[in-house]
RNA sequence: GGAGAGGUGGCUGAGUGGUCGAAAGCGGCGGUCUUGAAAACCGUUGAGGGUUUGUAGCCCUCCCAGGGUUCGAAUCCCUGCCUCUCCGCCA
């Protein structure tokens, strides 16, 4: 949620900045509602004050043995007025809140103009697209031929957009998870974290997935209103919901591997084959909770940590900054890492690293105590994938294949593969 | 699943209808003392919001959450959630 003070004091500027991402803010509606809010709130609080004063004097009168009947008569109507005012105020505030919860974050000045992913801007490249002296296969052909990837069985067990993996491919998939966790904990200073894979609606509101994006989520049908997590970002970031963090405990850096569940509603026909877009996939997520002035640097550092995974695996990639039209709802600024996929002859997203500034923190009431002001202030949150495991597996298979369809495991993973260096 | 106990400020914990936003202790901050530190002593110390040019003043709300009773609720009633103990079951 953006700062309601900005809405009140700087509405036109906010509206203008939101246009960059193609979002039109209904300023007239907000101005009208805000005027009502002010009027009703001032009235209601005056009534509350009146009631408090009178109740106190009734208490005093009774204590000194006076007759309180006339005093009670005086306040007879106050209660009804007050209730009406409180109810009206609650309505207005609810309405305002619903609107504000639906307003996306203000894009950072660095974010380029643009309407779609075609307008994203490449920042840098690492490595060159892998060259082959044969026609490279895609991961589906490779995985199926090696007998380690089975989409048909998965669709029997569950349905489309699931996978069964077996043998060395399954092991490689697990090895990637271990490798990423070890790298981020031992070299990048992140704390390994284990969290629930089901979350409540408050947590999803905190990160910005609700109320707007319920279509993307799997909701459980049990007695509790629980959802399967779409990313570890949700449970991990909510660790600090309703918490005031000591300054000397900042920054907090979490790395967390979880499965992720996404309904992928609205993506019919997109990436229907293979591992690229599944209802269930594994991801290693990096989350940082930082002081406001440090979030810009934290995004760079976190992005770099994610890049390290690709570099150590020898996978060519590029970094793009998302344009206004493509950036996520809660983010002020996002870098995507795109890995080269020989099977598709293109770069595909494998990590998305974002700075949310105080947007999630405000929804979550996640704060730190600023030693300078001695007051609790909102933290900034930064996160990114480090990396999406399924897509990393795809990239490995496709980039490390040979003419015989064997997969040569990069050295960084050897210690995790129990002596296997080639999958055949 | 059955039985019981309980949820109060950063923490421990008192408060069972009326100047209670809340005793006390710990912790934090400031000070005295000290070469410095510790100890001791003194002072101070919750959050959110409204109004406002205002970190000034004034006001409102908040004692798990949501309802209710009352002139008045941390305190009484109802519902939900969570925690703990015992029993049962169980990876």
Given a contact cutoff of 8 angstroms between Cβ atoms, the answer to whether A319 and A299 are in contact is no
Tell me how far CA of residue A360 lies from CA of A127, A209, A416, in angstroms.
Answer: 35, 10, 36
Per-residue confidence (pLDDT) for residue A64, from 0 to 100 = 78
DSSP label of A268: T
* Cβ contact A241 with chain B strand, < 7 A: no
Active site residue A391: yes
Per-residue confidence (pLDDT) for residue A211, from 0 to 100 = 83
Tell me how far CA of residue A420 lies from CA of A405, A413, A415, A416, A417, in angstroms.
Answer: 16, 9, 9, 9, 5
* CATH superfamily of the A117-423 domain: Bira Bifunctional Protein; Domain 2 (3.30.930.10)
Measured CA A100 to C1' B74 distance, in angstroms: 32
* Cβ contact A72 with chain B strand, < 7 A: yes
- Residue A203 to residue A366: CA distance in whole angstroms: 12
Per-residue confidence (pLDDT) for residue A186, from 0 to 100 = 97
The class of domain A26-101 in CATH terms is mainly alpha
Q: Which of A343, A254, A329, A328 is nearest to A298 (CA)?
A: A254
Per-residue confidence (pLDDT) for residue A392, from 0 to 100 = 98
- Residue A410 to residue A320: CA distance in whole angstroms: 25
Per-residue confidence (pLDDT) for residue A250, from 0 to 100 = 86
Active site residue A262: yes
Measured CA A201 to C1' B80 distance, in angstroms: 16
Per-residue confidence (pLDDT) for residue A6, from 0 to 100 = 86
What positions of strand B are covered by protein, i.e. any atom < 7 Å from a CB? 10, 18-19, 47-52, 59-61, 71-72, 81-82
Q: Is A310 exposed, middle or buried (0-12, 13-18, 19+ CB in 10 A)?
A: buried
Give pLDDT tens digits along chain A (424 positions).
Answer: 888 888 888 899 999 999 999 999 999 999 999 999 999 999 999 999 999 999 988 888 887 777 778 788 888 788 888 888 988 998 898 888 888 889 999 999 999 999 999 999 999 999 999 999 999 999 999 999 999 999 999 999 999 999 999 999 999 999 999 999 999 999 999 999 999 999 988 899 989 998 888 889 999 887 778 899 999 999 999 998 888 888 888 899 999 999 999 998 877 778 888 999 999 999 999 999 999 999 999 999 999 999 999 999 999 999 999 999 999 999 999 999 999 999 999 999 999 999 999 999 998 888 888 887 778 888 999 999 999 999 999 999 999 999 999 999 999 999 999 989 999 9
Interface confidence, given as ipTM, is 0.86
Domain ranges of chain A: 26-101, 117-423
Measured CA A19 to C1' B82 distance, in angstroms: 43
Per-residue confidence (pLDDT) for residue A179, from 0 to 100 = 98
């Amino acid at each position: 949620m953006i700062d309601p003070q900005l809405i009140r004091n700087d509405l036109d500027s906010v509206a203008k900045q939101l246009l960059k991402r193609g979002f039109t803010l209904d300023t007239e509606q907000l101005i009208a509602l805000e005027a009502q809010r002010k009027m009703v709130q001032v009235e209601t609080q005056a009534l509350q004050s009146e009631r408090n004063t009178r109740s106190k004097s009734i208490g005093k009168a009774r204590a000194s043995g006076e007759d309180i009947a006339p005093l009670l008569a005086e306040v007879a109507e106050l209660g009804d007025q007050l209730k009406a005012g409180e109810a009206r105020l609650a309505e207005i505030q609810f309405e305002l809140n619903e609107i504000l919860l639906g307003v996306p974050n203000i894009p950072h000045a660095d974010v380029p103009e643009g309407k779609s992913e075609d307008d994203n801007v490449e920042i840098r490249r690492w490595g060159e697209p892998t060259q082959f002296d044969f026609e490279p296969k895609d991961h589906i052909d490779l995985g199926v031929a090696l007998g380690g990837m089975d989409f048909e069985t998965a669709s029997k067990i569950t349905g489309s957009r699931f996978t069964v993996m077996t043998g060395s491919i399954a092991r490689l998939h697990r090895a990637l998870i271990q490798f990423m966790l070890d790298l981020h904990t031992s070299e990048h200073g992140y704390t390994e974290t284990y969290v629930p894979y089901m979350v409540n609606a408050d947590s999803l509101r905190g990160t910005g997935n609700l109320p707007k994006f319920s279509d993307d989520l799997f909701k459980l049908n049990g007695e509790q209103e629980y959802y399967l997590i779409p990313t570890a970002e949700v449970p991990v970031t909510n660790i600090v919901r309703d918490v005031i963090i000591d300054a000397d405990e900042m920054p907090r850096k979490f790395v967390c591997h979880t499965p992720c569940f996404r309904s992928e509603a609205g993506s019919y026909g997109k990436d229907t084959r293979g591992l690229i877009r599944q209802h269930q996939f594994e991801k290693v997520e990096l989350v940082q909770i930082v002081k406001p002035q440090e979030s810009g640097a934290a995004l760079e550092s976190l992005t770099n940590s994610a890049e390290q995974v690709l570099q150590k695996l020898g996978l060519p990639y590029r970094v793009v900054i998302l344009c206004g039209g493509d950036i996520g709802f809660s983010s002020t600024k996002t870098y995507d890492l795109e890995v080269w996929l020989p099977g598709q002859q293109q770069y595909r997203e494998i990590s998305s690293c974002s700075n949310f500034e105080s947007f999630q923190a405000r929804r979550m009431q996640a704060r730190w105590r600023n030693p300078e002001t001695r007051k609790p202030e909102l933290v900034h949150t930064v996160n990114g994938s480090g990396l999406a495991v399924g897509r990393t597996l795809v990239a490995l298979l496709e980039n490390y294949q040979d003419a015989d369809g064997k997969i040569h495991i990069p050295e960084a993973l050897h210690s995790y593969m129990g002596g296997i260096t080639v999958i055949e």
